[in-house]
Amino acid sequence: MHVTATQAKNRFAYVCAQAKVAPVFIEKNGRIDSVILSVQDFEALKAASQTNSLAERQKAFNQTHKAWLVEQNARFEKNGLWCDDLRVG
C-alpha cells in the first residue's frame, strides 16, 4: 500500500491496521520517505540484520574454507611469504 504523508496523518489508525497485513509506504514529495511495518515484520528484519560475533564468523569461515586454509598454511611452511625477499632500498 502506498499513501501520501498527509493521508497517513489523516488516516493513521487505518494505516496502522493495514501495516499489520503488509508494509505501508509513505510518500513525501512523490518519493517513498518512510515505511510502516507490523511488529512481527520489524522483529523479523531486526533478527535477520543482527550479525554474528567475530568469533562465530571466524569459526564459520574456517569451517567453510578449511581445505584452502590447510593448503595456504602448507605453502607458507614450505616457501615462506612471497614477499620475504622484497626490500625497500
Q: What are 25-79's pLDDT values in tens digits?
A: 999 999 999 999 999 999 988 887 777 788 888 998 999 999 999 999 998 888 8
- Rounded to an integer, the average pLDDT of 74-86 is 81
**Inside any domain, residue 19:** yes
**Inside any domain, residue 13:** yes
**Inside any domain, residue 67:** yes
For residue 33, what pLDDT is reported?
A: 95
For residue 89, what pLDDT is reported?
A: 60
Angstrom distance (rounded) from CA 67 to CA 62: 9
* Tally of domains in the chain: 2
Please report which confidence band the pLDDT of residue 87 belongs to, taking 50, 70 and 90 as the band edges. low
- The position carrying cell 622484497 is 86
Question: What is the residue range of 65's domain?
Answer: 52-79
23 alpha-carbon distance from chain centroid: 19
**Inside any domain, residue 72:** yes
Angstrom distance (rounded) from CA 4 to CA 38: 19
DSSP 8-class letter at 14:
H
